Amino acid sequence: MSEPLDADLSRIDGKKGDNMEENLENILECYDGKSIELIPILQEVQHKFGYLPEPEMREVAKFTGLPESRVYGVATFYEQFKLTPQGRNKVTVCRGDGLPCSWRQANS
């Protein structure tokens, strides 16, 4: 039987039951709230939650004194940041049109 669409997504990254506010507070207490700390803070938040939840990005904006739009802009500019929970397994497909893929196939 499949799960309902509104199932708890926190199970994806194995953090079910964690208190998100408390986790964010633990991350932020290591910083001074300077705008230059934005990227390291976002990296830690993503490491902890598996993605950047919107409420946490709002709190990071308040903490750093930056507009929410700036935090969102940074989060969407860098490919390393994910705004939605990611699945357990990542699937990539090699189309064979790039040199690295071609080289791997040539060695087999």
Return d(Cα 27, Cα 96) in angstroms, integer.
41
Of 31, 8, 32, nearest in space to 20 by CA: 8
Report how far apart, in Å, the C-alpha atoms of 46 and of each of 1, 63, 77 are.
31, 16, 15
Is residue 1 assigned to a domain?
no
Residue 94 banded pLDDT, cuts 50, 70, 90: confident
Query: Could you tell me the pTM of the whole model?
Result: 0.67
Is residue 7 assigned to a domain?
no
Give me 105's structure tokens. 């196939």
Q: Look at residue 17 in the predicted model and tell me its pLDDT.
A: 40
> What digits encode the pLDDT tens for the residues 39-50?
999 999 999 999
Is residue 6 assigned to a domain?
no
CATH number of the domain to which 93 belongs: 1.10.10.1590
Is residue 55 assigned to a domain?
yes
pLDDT > 90: percent of the chain: 56
Q: Look at residue 91 in the predicted model and tell me its pLDDT.
A: 79
Structural domain harbouring 49:
13-106
Q: Look at residue 107 in the predicted model and tell me its pLDDT.
A: 55
Angle at 11 between CA 7 and CA 14, to 5 degrees: 175
Burial 33-60 (b: 16+ CB within 10 A, else e): eeeebbeebbebbbebbbbbbeebbebb
Q: Look at residue 18 in the predicted model and tell me its pLDDT.
A: 53
Q: Look at residue 64 in the predicted model and tell me its pLDDT.
A: 96
- The structural domain count of the chain equals 1
Is residue 8 assigned to a domain?
no
Is residue 2 assigned to a domain?
no
